[in-house]
Amino acid sequence: MPQRKQITWAQLRVGALVLVSLTILGIGVFFITGEAGFLTSKYPLKTYFSGASGLREGSQVRLAGLPVGVVEKIRISAYVEPERAVEVTMRVPRTYQREIREDSEARLATAGLLGEAFVDISRGKPERPVVPEGGVVKSVEEADIKRIVQNTNDVISNLRVLSTKLNDITSQIQAGQGSIGKLIYDQALYSRMNQLSGTLQQIVTRVDRGEGTVGKLLADEALYQRTVASIDRLNQILDDVQHGKGSLAKLINDPSVYNNVNQLVTRANTLVDNVNSGKGTLGKFATDPQLYNRLNETFDRLNIITTRIEQGQGTLGRLSTDPTLFNNLRDSSQSLREFLTEFRKNPKKYLTIKLRIF
């Protein structure tokens, strides 16, 4: 009997030792993996996403990239907005509560390109209020990998279509079609361009020799000297103007000229104002409606007189339209001319003085 009790006690000690070892190992694993939160107090937080693809209950919750909590629950939210379709409940240790504030943002991210999804919360600023227990952390949506892959496929498809079109364009160019194809493969165009190049080379050679107008402009030393002399004279004129010499300098620098011009402009403005207000003769001409009416009546009367003259009415009308009066005037003028001619020849004939004595 004593031997049997000693073996049982030994087994009991071994079992207890194994149990303690497993407990220590489990606690160490929890500490190493960051899941030692069962020893600390936690509080719930919520956030909302448009979708929870890849996220599951038990996924990590990270704070600035460090694992601090787990996703406790994922469900369809009561909101109708598409951006808040999924409600995610998280449990985070209270030791990190002061780091999660109202300006913190929750993002749905993945570990690597195809890794497990998790919720990453950014740290808030110290001056902002802390998110309370059960509060909501605002979320920020980012493009997920499926959308990226889909967009990449669209880009690849577009690149394939573009590549096909470029191949067609290249084939047309190689066949000499289109403007670019003709520029590259048209022999006549090449000949004309070669001829043009030769002509340009001849022109450049003539210019280098100083031939022609352009050649003289570039190579004539006398022209260069005259240009320099003209520039010097212009500089001298500008210097004289700056120093107050000459009439132009006085017009620019003399304040009396400015004052006279200013006074002239002032008087002109006063004159225009007087005209607009109907003052003076010119103002009455410009603004008096009675003068306009009288002028209008005068023009109407002149039109009537002109019409009567054209119709041959009245003395002026007969003078302008009756040929008899013109003929009489012409005959009278002719007789007067003959009388003056004869008078010059023999004035005694017409200037005889007779004296009679009673």
pLDDT tens per residue, range 272-295:
887 777 777 777 777 777 777 777
Residues 154 and 104 in one domain: no
> Is pLDDT above 60 for 248?
yes
pLDDT score, position 28: 66
> Is pLDDT above 80 for 257?
no
Residues 23 and 114 in one domain: no
Residues 90 and 127 in one domain: yes
Residue 194 in domain: no
Residues 5 and 51 in one domain: no
Residue 223 in domain: no
pLDDT score, position 2: 47
Which residues form the domain of 89? 40-142
pLDDT score, position 226: 80
pLDDT score, position 113: 60
Coil, strand, or helix at residue 219?
Answer: helix
β-bridge mates for residue 66, sequence order:
63
Mean per-residue pLDDT, 148-156: 68
Residues 170 and 83 in one domain: no
Residue 9 in domain: yes
Residue 137 in domain: yes
Residues 172 and 95 in one domain: no
Domain count, the chain: 3
Residues 87 and 126 in one domain: yes
| Residues 59 and 116 sit within 8 Å (Cβ to Cβ) | yes
Query: Which residues, other chains included, contact 141 with Cβ-Cβ below 8 Å and sequence gap of 6+?
Result: 49, 50, 83, 108
Portion of the chain with pLDDT greater than 70, in percent: 82
Residues 81 and 123 in one domain: yes
Task: List, for residues 132-151, the tens digit of each pLDDT value.
Answer: 888 888 888 765 555 665 56
Residue 81 in domain: yes
Residue 26 in domain: yes
Residues 29 and 4 in one domain: yes
Residues 19 and 73 in one domain: no
Residue 128 in domain: yes
pLDDT score, position 1: 43
Between 297 and 115, whose confidence is greater? 297
> Is pLDDT above 50 for 36?
no
Residues 55 and 125 in one domain: yes
Residue 275 in domain: no
Last residue of a domain, one of 110, 142, 174: 142
Mean per-residue pLDDT, 197-222: 78
Query: Taking all residues of the chain, what is their mean pLDDT, rounded to a whole number?
Result: 77
Residue 327's φ and ψ, nearest 5 degrees, are -70, -40
Nearest to 59 by CA among 106, 7, 11, 129: 106
Residues 132 and 69 in one domain: yes
> Is pLDDT above 50 for 313?
yes
